[in-house]
Structure 1
Amino acid sequence: MDEQKNYDGSSIQVLEGLEAVRKRPSMYIGSTDARGLHHLVYEVVDNSIDEALAGYAKNIRMTINEDGSVTVVDDGRGIPVSIQPKYQKSALEVVLTILHAGGKFDKNTYKVSGGLHGVGVSVVNALSEWLIAEVRRDGKVYRQTYAYGIPTSGVEAVGEYEGDKTGTTIQFKPDSTIFETTDFKYDILLNRLKELAFLNKGIHIITEDLRLPENTGEDEFGDIAEDDSDVTADIEFESAEEDDEDGESAGSKKKSGRTLGTKEKYHDLYYEGGIIEFVKYLNSGKTVLHDTPIYFERQRDGTDVEISMQYTESYNSNVHSFANNINTTEGGTHMVGFKSALTRVANDYIKKNNLDKDTKDGASLSGEDIREGLTAIISVKLLEPQFEGQTKTKLGNSEIKGIVDSLVTEGLAEYFEENPKVATTILEKALLAKKAREAAKKARELTRRKSALEVSTLPGKLADCSERDASLCELYLVEGNSAGGSAKQGRNRAFQAILPFRGKILNVEKTRMDRALKNAEIASLITALGAGLGDDMDMDKLRYHKVVIMTDADVDGAHIRTLILTFFFRYMPDLINSGYVYIAQPPLYRIKKGKAEYYAYNDKQLRAKLAELGDKGITVSRYKGLGEMNPEQLWSTTMNPETRTLLQVTIEDAIAADEIFSILMGDEVLPRREFIQAHAKEVENLDI
């Protein structure tokens, strides 16, 4: 029987009712901060992706509306509106009001589900001030409205449509009493939907933000077409953190584009090449060792595996894994299978072709060696994914390891035999990485903190704190001896340690670890933290649970901050992932009126304070460096836990983070120039 006919009210199966979502929303969406807010959109889009994976949808559109609501439209079959037998209600209402209700629990309806997060659109409904569902199905347009998850109307036929334009439209506005913020960030949503477009080749996804300047034109999937003009705003007195909805410069059918471009508010995402184009996109700012990415695909027992990989001249690996479109940031069985096969095939080829002249018995590359400079996407789509933990960041299906291992072993061995020049280039780089790793191991041993380490042995002149409970300790990384001196005098010696940097640390984006470890500033930083780095990092040995980067508010300070963050991102990612890295926010201005002193941390605060104080007898001083502050000022404005402002460094999107570090700190000049040109008008405090 035709599956289209099978998909009716009886296809909607109910696992359990919707309870306690509004009382305990974090149990269902992870948090009520910005991350949880954006998760609402992912849940709705995932349903549309499921329709596309089942072969019934080709177009998806996500719009942030002027009122802050979000609309998601697809051209799938449309959620059924017929009566669901168990509840004797419309299937549409069941899907939107009962937790775990949907066609994806029926294997005959959805073979593979990319949105099986355990919550679904019913949770979106429960956490929204209002929601409107519209279904185009069986020649009619049906609509139902909700408020806080409760129906405010029945399922009503409100019109008709011509042709085969079936589909579902969901529009919702998050509940401001539930979420800490209801301000959707377009660039965050764009990055995720771009990811989905790459992972599902041939699916057409349109994104737009109607809060930005108006669009013009028409397209075949609605009435809005891409506006090629750059949109910028006059933000002379605005805070950068209030104006960060960056779009990509060109994300269309014709070119992949980059998310870090101008402030466009419309993007047409379509990637016929799928993850091959994904890899090219990630490497667009790097020098590649072979022009065309390697690609494998295999289907077995209902499981589809796709792998694309390409080597670059960089020294870092960039391997991302996905299961049913979910970014498995902690890896899992598909990642294990990939890594083991990659290392085995590489070593076999080296021995067979005698490429290692320096080792008597031939090379024994580690996985780290062969992954140096590698960019890879591993995407598996399977019937019943098993994820470890509530966050679904690690795939646990044991059978996937063997499938991926077999695919990579066969495919890569064949590729190396057919492309010996490329194979030799890749493996010679890996052999150099092996030598560097062995040298780095020796250097790393020299930087390990011993239990009886004396402060005087540290080249960075660490002024340690007396507290020994790491959870209470803070380490300030301070630019320059002058600021370091003020920080040492102004700090609370009980729990605040100071490590001054003299000059800029090495740019680790352009060098291997062995050379990085010879840099005095990096060596002292590793030693002070005490936890090692890379795969050997032991967070239990970390001596400080707050690592605060405190640099000047000028170009050099920003550069030093970026260098430190690059080092943490590449060699100590667990430090960031654990939430231990912060950026200090020293004031930019001191405002004096008589004997009274005030501080402003940005131009907006300065303007407000000047308006409050009037225009007589006021003196404004701009701080260019931390060293201009005396110890008391530095303590009261920047280091006192009761009055300071710290920005916590997080990695919401590892792929986007990797991209921006590659652009800003890598070898390629053109992408960096384009980035600077695109964001030049956003600069607030230009130091010239």
Structure 2
Amino acid sequence: MADATYNEDNIRSLDWKEHIRLRPGMYIGKLGDGTSPDDGIYILLKEVIDNSIDEYVMGHGNRIEVNIEDGVASVRDYGRGIPLGKVVDVVSKMNTGGKYDSKAFKKSVGLNGVGLKATNALSDEFSVYAVREGKMKKADFSLGNLVKEHNQVKTKEANGTFISYHADPAIFKKFKYRSDFIENQLWNYAYLNAGLKLIYNGKTLVSKNGLKDLLERKVNEELRRYPVIHLKGDDMEVAITHGNAYGETYFSFVNGQHTTQGGTHLNAFKQGLVEACQKHYSKAYDRKDILSSVVAAVAIKVEDPIFESQTKTKLGSTDMGPGLPTVSTFMRNFMVEHFDNFLHKNPTTAEALEKRIKQSERERKEIAGIKKLANARAKKANLHNKKLRDCRVQYNSNNKKHTDEQKLATTIFITEGDSASGSITVARDVQTQAVFSLRGKPLNCFGQTKKVVYENEEFNLLQHALNIEDGVDELRYNRVVIATDADVDGMHIRLLLLTFFLQFFPDMVEGGHLYILETPLFRVRDKQKTFYCYSEQEKQDAIKALRGKPEITRFKGLGEISPKEFSDFIGENIRLEPVVMGENTDIDKLLSYYMGKNTPDRQNFIIDNLRIELDADMDGDGTADVDQLVSEKEAKAAAEAA
């Protein structure tokens, strides 16, 4: 068949609003529904707040108010306020902003002038007003189109800018804000701008000690091997400690932007830390031993930063700015000089740090032989690994054909048994969704050393599938999803996998990469309509909506759900519950409670939390027929098995 006619009529010029709405991924990464910290609704909020932060950095206003209610987000700062004659232009005309003059915004967070315009174009309601010296100018928009430009009026309000918007539900479908994600986002702003007050829905967030506060909040005092080392210089701030957990955990920032994927500055920091330790102790300690169990925060300011993606999650700049040293030279010189000086002045900390390095060295040497055999076995298995059904795009891909949106969408489902993995494998998107199948219940690795990861074939293959043996920097999938049955065995497998990740790869959880897949418990249908219900309440609502006597199916396992049905549950309407580290989470205590020696408290917890599902009244006699009821005796047995 001949190609369709290609002529002048096929060439279209989109205006800025149409282009943003047609290709939102180019501007804000993936859309999502709010279950991931890098979903679009949080990027839009960040773009608005960034402008307020820039005002604070320039010395104007020390308070920013953020409110979210019924899906409407608003941000009020007390900076200088947008010049009143440019209020409409700043939020609706591309290549318009105050950040192109490098003297005014030399090291600004957002440099391309797109952020506010993207938020405007992707919102069905958007309002902005600015106050300057007793005068106010306001404008209202919808989908980027000006609805009303209000006349300038007098006001007693303080100087500053106010922006309110509601993300367009036609683009961000069924979205919902998570307070823990927003608070974490705002805390990062607080740490990077000591003294700035951020008020979120009435709660005040403020930091006095910058990145030192960040680490002290993230790592409990009893888990730190030595007090947090806090170093500051021109355009540079770092905070460092070591803990007991495996892996490396970093919080890196460039010009206030949280670079979740690191970049040139983080690589240079690691090298600088290694060289500083080797210099101070006059010993060629292995890089891996120095960095093992490190928890560090790094913030750097770069002139005209170049990021490797539109969402600015990885720094690509090699220079600090015109006529300035390279990022690598600047960072390494800073660390070698200041970190070494600190250790000389604090010998107790220096001794504790070296003790941690030596412990890592012993542990590494103990597993060296096992690791070599395990890696050879894993390499052989990878040639015909039936456990892994891979996808075509990877999160760590350097292929320029793979978009940021595709990389952020990469997902691997960890399933149990062939029936469950079979349905997901058939239903998945082969571009961005992979499946790893467990043979059965994995080993309870609580209290074990990392040696078990290499000795246990299942864990070793999973580690290689995710590409996390040497840390999460090269993680192959943005979302690692535990997909188990909604029953006692499924809960147990979920706990065992959570134990594995929390104990050996806490940085993966901290990075927001681990999720639990929610799958429907019931299908309620008649000849016209079908509802998939995730709770008893949703089931009752579906029954009322259909009236009559609909057919009700209780899904006891993932294998019972057909591939055709599954495609909807892992596609656009996927429901994921993120695994989030709470404030001051003590992983050791948490895992000890759930996976350690059996206690009555844990048995009671499992008994209280097992889900009991009752079928609807199918007989019409006013009573419910029990479909699956777990007795106290069975619950105790499940608790003991766990």
Give the TM-score taking structure 2 as reference length.
0.72
Q: Distance in 1 between matches of 2:61 and 2:203?
A: 19
Q: Distance in 1 between matches of 2:77 and 2:426?
A: 59
Question: Which residue of 20, 37, 43 maps to 2:41?
Answer: 37
Is structure 2 residue 48 aligned with structure 1 residue 122?
Answer: no
Is structure 2 residue 77 aligned with structure 1 residue 74?
Answer: yes
Q: Distance in 2 between matches of 1:342 and 1:51?
A: 33
- Partner in structure 2 of residue 108 of structure 1: 103
Is structure 2 residue 288 aligned with structure 1 residue 368?
Answer: yes
**One-letter amino acid of the structure 2 residue matched with residue 274 of structure 1:** G
- Partner in structure 1 of residue 539 of structure 2: 606
- Partner in structure 1 of residue 314 of structure 2: 394
Asked if the contact 1:17–1:100 (Cα under 8 Å) also holds between the matched residues in 2, the reply is no
Asked if the contact 2:66–2:76 (Cα under 8 Å) also holds between the matched residues in 1, the reply is yes
Q: Distance in 2 between matches of 1:444 and 1:102?
A: 54
- Partner in structure 2 of residue 142 of structure 1: 137
Q: Distance in 1 between matches of 2:371 and 2:58?
A: 51
Is structure 2 residue 330 aligned with structure 1 residue 411?
Answer: no
Asked if the contact 1:21–1:127 (Cα under 8 Å) also holds between the matched residues in 2, the reply is yes
How far off its partner does 1:53 sit? 0.5
Is structure 2 residue 23 aligned with structure 1 residue 24?
Answer: yes
How far off its partner does 1:63 sit? 1.0
**One-letter amino acid of the structure 2 residue matched with residue 289 of structure 1:** R
Is structure 2 residue 144 aligned with structure 1 residue 207?
Answer: no
Asked if the contact 1:478–1:549 (Cα under 8 Å) also holds between the matched residues in 2, the reply is yes
Asked if the contact 1:568–1:576 (Cα under 8 Å) also holds between the matched residues in 2, the reply is yes
- Please give the per-residue CA displacement for 1:245-298, whole angstroms capped at 9, x wherever unaligned: xxxxxxxxxxxxxxxxxxxxx4210111111111101113761122x3111111
Q: Which runs of 5+ in 1 are unaligned?
A: 1-15, 82-89, 209-265, 352-361, 627-633
Distance 1:51 1:328, change over 3 A: same
How far off its partner does 1:390 sit? 2.9
- Partner in structure 2 of residue 213 of structure 1: none
- Partner in structure 2 of residue 663 of structure 1: 585
Q: Secondary structure at the match of 1:659?
A: coil
Identity %: 26
Question: Which residue of 332, 337, 348 maps to 2:263?
Answer: 332
- Report how many aligned residue pairs link the two structures: 553
Q: Secondary structure at the match of 1:168?
A: strand
Asked if the contact 2:525–2:546 (Cα under 8 Å) also holds between the matched residues in 1, the reply is no
Q: Distance in 2 between matches of 1:642 and 1:284?
A: 41
Question: Which residue of 438, 443, 447 maps to 1:499?
Answer: 438
**One-letter amino acid of the structure 1 residue matched with residue 126 of structure 2:** L
- Partner in structure 2 of residue 435 of structure 1: 362
How far off its partner does 1:47 sit? 0.6
1:476-487 aligned at under 5 Å gives the runs: 484=417
Question: Which residue of 215, 236, 251 maps to 1:305?
Answer: 236
Is structure 2 residue 611 aligned with structure 1 residue 685?
Answer: yes
Distance 1:561 1:660, change over 3 A: farther
Distance 1:546 1:350, change over 3 A: closer
Is structure 2 residue 169 aligned with structure 1 residue 166?
Answer: no
Is structure 2 residue 576 aligned with structure 1 residue 645?
Answer: no
Distance 1:603 1:104, change over 3 A: same
- Please give the per-residue CA displacement for 1:397-444, whole angstroms capped at 9, x wherever unaligned: 332222221221112111211222221221122122123223434323
- Partner in structure 2 of residue 97 of structure 1: 92
Distance 1:188 1:523, change over 3 A: closer
How far off its partner does 1:200 sit? 0.9
Distance 1:115 1:428, change over 3 A: same
Distance 1:155 1:601, change over 3 A: closer
Q: Secondary structure at the match of 1:145?
A: strand
1:495-644 aligned at under 5 Å gives the runs: 498-502=437-441, 504-507=443-446, 512-519=449-456, 521-523=458-460, 525-526=462-463, 529=465, 533-534=469-470, 549-554=482-487, 557-565=490-498, 567=500, 588=521, 601-608=534-541, 611=544, 623=556, 626=557, 635-637=559-561
Is structure 2 residue 245 aligned with structure 1 residue 323?
Answer: no
Q: Distance in 2 between matches of 1:52 and 1:573?
A: 34
- Partner in structure 1 of residue 432 of structure 2: none
Q: Distance in 2 between matches of 1:314 and 1:579?
A: 17
Distance 1:662 1:171, change over 3 A: closer
- Partner in structure 1 of residue 68 of structure 2: 64
Asked if the contact 1:582–1:649 (Cα under 8 Å) also holds between the matched residues in 2, the reply is no
Task: Point out the more displaced range, 380-389 or 512-521.
Answer: 512-521
- Partner in structure 2 of residue 422 of structure 1: 349
Asked if the contact 1:54–1:112 (Cα under 8 Å) also holds between the matched residues in 2, the reply is no
Task: Point out the more displaced range, 377-386 or 580-589.
Answer: 580-589
- Please give the per-residue CA displacement for 1:446-490, whole angstroms capped at 9, x wherever unaligned: 2236699589xx9xxx9769x899889x998555xxxx4876999
Task: Point out the more displaced range, 579-588 or 38-47.
Answer: 579-588
- Please give the per-residue CA displacement for 1:571-618, whole angstroms capped at 9, x wherever unaligned: 78999999998856566469999xxx9985432343245557889999
Asked if the contact 1:22–1:127 (Cα under 8 Å) also holds between the matched residues in 2, the reply is yes
How far off its partner does 1:52 sit? 0.4
Asked if the contact 1:566–1:661 (Cα under 8 Å) also holds between the matched residues in 2, the reply is no
Q: Distance in 1 between matches of 2:261 and 2:314?
A: 5
How far off its partner does 1:670 sit? 11
Give the TM-score taking structure 1 as reference length.
0.67
Asked if the contact 1:53–1:112 (Cα under 8 Å) also holds between the matched residues in 2, the reply is no
Q: Distance in 2 between matches of 1:144 and 1:617?
A: 50
**One-letter amino acid of the structure 2 residue matched with residue 564 of structure 1:** L
How far off its partner does 1:176 sit? 2.9
Asked if the contact 1:286–1:667 (Cα under 8 Å) also holds between the matched residues in 2, the reply is no
**One-letter amino acid of the structure 2 residue matched with residue 148 of structure 1:** L
- Please give the per-residue CA displacement for 1:205-248, whole angstroms capped at 9, x wherever unaligned: 0111xxxxxxxxxxxxxxxxxxxxxxxxxxxxxxxxxxxxxxxx
- Partner in structure 1 of residue 53 of structure 2: 49
Distance 1:79 1:621, change over 3 A: closer
Q: Secondary structure at the match of 1:347?
A: helix
Q: Distance in 1 between matches of 2:427 and 2:78?
A: 62
Q: Which runs of 5+ in 2 are unaligned?
A: 1-14, 34-38, 320-325, 395-410, 429-434, 596-601, 613-629, 636-642
Task: Point out the more displaced range, 605-614 or 18-27.
Answer: 605-614
Question: Which residue of 170, 189, 192 maps to 1:177?
Answer: 170
Q: Distance in 1 between matches of 2:308 and 2:564?
A: 40
Question: Which residue of 205, 212, 215 maps to 1:276?
Answer: 212
Q: Secondary structure at the match of 1:295?
A: strand
Q: Distance in 2 between matches of 1:276 and 1:150?
A: 44
Asked if the contact 1:590–1:599 (Cα under 8 Å) also holds between the matched residues in 2, the reply is yes
Distance 1:387 1:345, change over 3 A: same
- Please give the per-residue CA displacement for 1:167-214, whole angstroms capped at 9, x wherever unaligned: 111112223333334543333322211211111111100111xxxxxx
Provide the alpha-carbon RMSD of the alignment. Answer: 4.9
Q: Secondary structure at the match of 2:173?
A: coil
Q: Distance in 2 between matches of 1:489 and 1:133?
A: 51
Q: Secondary structure at the match of 2:152?
A: strand
How far off its partner does 1:110 sit? 2.5
Distance 1:514 1:199, change over 3 A: same
**One-letter amino acid of the structure 1 residue matched with residue 278 of structure 2:** N
**One-letter amino acid of the structure 2 residue matched with residue 295 of structure 1:** H
How far off its partner does 1:130 sit? 2.9
Asked if the contact 1:585–1:644 (Cα under 8 Å) also holds between the matched residues in 2, the reply is no
Q: Distance in 2 between matches of 1:47 and 1:546?
A: 30
- Partner in structure 2 of residue 293 of structure 1: 228
Q: Distance in 2 between matches of 1:59 and 1:142?
A: 21
